[in-house]
Structures are given as structure tokens and as C-alpha cells.
Amino acid sequence: MDEVTEGISTAEAYIESLRGRALKVYLFGELVADIVEHPMIRPSINAVAETFQLALQEPELATAISPFTGKRVNRFLHIAQKREDVVLQNKMQRRLGQLTGTCFQRCVGMDAFNALYSTTFEIDACYHTNYHTRFRKFIAYTQNHNFVIGGAMTDVKGDRSLAPHQQADPDLFVHITRRTSEGVYITGAKAHQTGCLNSHWLLVMPTMRLTDNDRNYAIVGAIPVDAKGITYIYGRQSCDTRSMETGDIDSGNAHYGGQEAMVIFEEVFIPNELIFMDGEYEFASMLVERFTCYHRRSYVCKSGVGDVLIGAAATIAEFNGADKASHIKDKLVEMTHLNETIYATGIAASYQSKPTLSGTYLADDMLANVCKHHVTRLPYEISRLAQDLAGGLMVTLPSEQDFRSETVGHLLEKYLKGRADVPTEHRMRILRLIENMTLGRNAVGYLTESMHGAGSPQAQRIQIARQMQLDFKKQLAKELAGIKKRQKDMLIKEISDYFGRVFDTNV
């Protein structure tokens, strides 16, 4: 194996790197003393740790040679230098979805890295700034330490009918509040920030197209997760407190989970060397669109999670003794068809990547949006079919405490039995896993993220509409229908008639 970049190299080392930080995190109205040991937060940390484990177990899939350090680095920190790099991102994402059954939280940072790399290059070409040079140094720094990068793009937005500078409260979009010779200070909030507490650095970015009046909102910079002035408020997830109970059956997926939080910036400092856009408002839309292009095809991760759900559905059918029924097989085929459709469109977008001016490769925007639009629909149908195969017991199953009870546990052992050769506990665990993925804590990572992550459905429809090429397609139809040919013939006849008349006159 090639020389490995120094820094965090194992899952255990990653978890240790999150300890002892001065984070201000609130959950249930209380300050969290240690996120690593908090039972509601720890599963999300475990999911990120799996990205380090995969890099060691499957280096050709989950690592790449950095053009900045010359060493092998985690693929989540790599800038795509060729089409195969973009494709391997998708293959890695599907594998991690299979291993965790949830959101593993590093795709936002990977996609932000690649989008910002090409955007800073083009800002510099236009304005002769040095953002790209700064950013390359930051990339090399993060690669050498093997840090986790979180993206911070989604502002809370306030009144959606108003631009950032028009808001009654200017803090509803992150913006620069003051400047010094050393850097800038920002205030505002970012919502739905995936894996932010589990990251080492945050990349703060604008969330939408901006105008000249929004210059102070056109700020991009890197900030340590534990920087002074940042407050995190942890997001609730369905059935999340089950992870705080005794036992591990009712949580469904006790080891892995996702993480979302609100990030509030109150006069947070960004030094000049970590600023990668400052006032170049016309490039905000380029950054957002390139990020969403990468990120929307990144949702092939849901096909990996879908693999787990299909496996759980097939298992519960087997445990129930119904796996040989034709309609069961047909539903599993349908689930697989839908799941592979997500993967196919995402990986097609990656295979059709093209180089930007900076040299980094960008996925096909049309297919990336088609992929994400599928994701806003198909996981819901896959989940419906999984619930169909699971049966009503998925949501009426008594608790693990009852199952372990000396008083009634033996009754549940007897009456919750499916096939005689399958332990009752195994049946309960699979039912809880399906509940977890379609209704519980990890339904956020599989369903809610599928709907709203990287933009809600209308955002994809807008991008698809922009790239429909209707004029080109209409012309194809006209040519095959003979319309263009007849138009050409009519034109030739008109020209001939014209010259005929001229010649006749001259004669």
C-alpha cells in the first residue's frame, strides 16, 4: 500500500480525536458534557468512524493518491482528478450505506471540497484573487491530518420571498458583521447540518444565488468546529431516546445512526488565510449549483441503505415462513428494481463527468438531478413495501423490557414465535430494524434526507427544466417527421421562383 498520510488513521483514533473539545452543545435544553459518551449521539459517531475503517479494509475503494501531498488519503478528502474518481465516490457511498444502514455524514464535506475547488479557481481567474491557492493549502492540511470536514450551506432563510439583505432580521442568513486586518466575523445560523459535531472543520458557504446588495452574505470560509462563538442545538429524531434505554433491541440499529443539528454563529472569526470567497456574489450560484450537482448524485448512498432494508424485508418474510409466496418474491423484485434505479442514475451521472477549468471533474448535472429526484420518491415506496412484508407487529411489538421480564417474558417468547427454528429474539430484532429505518431514528437518514437533503423536489425540477433542451429535441422530431425537409424544399422553390422571375424580366 502507498504511504499513508499522517494523522487520524483508525476508527478508534477518530473517536478519540473528538474528545476534550470545548463544544457548546445543547440537547433537551441541557449542555452536553461529552458528545462521545452520550448515548443519543454516539451512534452517529460510530457511523463516521466506519469511513476510517473502510479506508483500511478497502483502500482501492475508499482512498486515493492526493495530488497535493503525494500520499494516499481518505477519498472523502480527495479532489476528483478523473472520471473514475467521481465514480468511485459513488461506489464507496453505496458500500458505506450497506455497512451502516444510515447516513455516514461525510458526503457533504467531500462534495463541498470538490465544488469549492473549481469555483475558487474561476474566481481567481476573474478577479486575480488568491482563494484557490489558500484552498489548496487547506486541502493539504486536512489531508495530512485526515480530518472530517462538515459542510454548512443551508441557512435558516426566514421569509422565503425576500433576499438575504431584505430580511427583517439580517441574521437569518449567515453574513459578515465586521472586518479587521486579520479577517472577518460572521453571525447567523445554519440548519440541518449533517454530522457537524462529528467533524473537525466546517466549511461555511452561501445557500443561494446572491445580488450586489448581498455582498456581505457571499462569504466562504473554514472554521474549527470548536471555534469560539459557535452554539450547537442537537436535532430530535423519531424514537431517538430508545438509544438511552437498557438493551439494544428496541433501538433497531443500536450501533449506527445519523446526526443533524442547528449551528448558531455569534461573531465567529475567520482569518484571512481561511477565507475562500468574500463578496464575489456572482459566483455564489456557481458554488451552490456545483455543490448540489455533486451532492444530488451522492444520494446513491441511499441504495446502500436500501440494500439493508431489502435484506431485512426478505429476512422477516423468511422468519414468518412466507418467503416462498409469489407475491412476496414479486415485492422484493420491485424493491430491488427501485433501489437499482437510484444507483443507476447516480453512477451514470458520475460516469458522464467532465473536467472543469480547474481540472477537477464534475458530474453530469442533468443526471445528478434525475438521481436525486428519484431519491425523493423511490425510498418511500421501498419503505412501504418493507412495512407490508413486516406486518403490523413492526409497530405493535412489546418492549425489550417486557421480553426480558421474568413475569411476562416467557409469554412473548411463546406467542411472538414465527418459524419454529428461528429464535423469537431474532424476529424481534429484524422487525425493530425495519421500524428504525422506515419510522424511527434512521428514517431521517433514509427518508427525510431523501426528500429534503441537497434540495427538495422542486429544486431538482427547476434544474431539470433548465436542461431539457426542448428546442434541440423538437428539431429532432421535425427532421424525422419531414417538417424541416419540407421547409427547406419550400425555401428552395421560393428562391428558384424568385430567380426565375428575375431571369424572365431580364430576357
Query: Is 295 annotated in the active site?
Result: yes
3-state SS assignment for residue 176: strand
Query: Is 356 annotated in the active site?
Result: no
Burial class of residue 70, CB neighbours in 10 A (0-12, 13-18, 19+): exposed
Residue 376 CA to residue 238 CA, distance in Å, equals: 19
Catalytic site residue from 154, 301, 343, 345: 301
Catalytic site residue from 78, 103, 132, 187: 103
Catalytic site residue from 63, 102, 107, 192: 107
Catalytic site residue from 38, 132, 200, 295: 295
Catalytic site residue from 50, 260, 280, 435: 260
Catalytic site residue from 51, 154, 194, 376: 194
Residue 18 vs residues 34, 37, 373, 392: alpha-carbon distances, Å:
9, 10, 35, 40
Query: Is 266 annotated in the active site?
Result: no
**Is 194 flagged in the annotation as binding?**
yes
CB 274 within 8 A of CB 138: yes
Short-list 346, 359, 364, 252, CA closest to 301: 346
Strands 183-194 vs 260-271: parallel, antiparallel or unpaired: antiparallel
Strands 72-74 vs 219-224: parallel, antiparallel or unpaired: unpaired
The 3-state secondary structure of 117-137 reads: HHHHHHHHHHHCCCHHHHHHH
Query: Is 175 annotated in the active site?
Result: no
Residue 453 CA to residue 438 CA, distance in Å, equals: 17
Query: Is 103 annotated in the active site?
Result: yes
- What pairs with residue 189 in β-bridges? 264
Query: Is 336 annotated in the active site?
Result: no
Catalytic site residue from 280, 400, 435, 449: 449
CB 358 within 8 A of CB 281: no
Query: Is 449 annotated in the active site?
Result: yes
- What pairs with residue 283 in β-bridges? none
Query: Is 260 annotated in the active site?
Result: yes
Q: DSSP character for 145?
A: H
Q: Which residues are catalytic?
A: 103, 107, 194, 260, 295, 299, 301, 449
Known binding-site residue numbers: 194
| Binding site per annotation, positions for FAD | 194
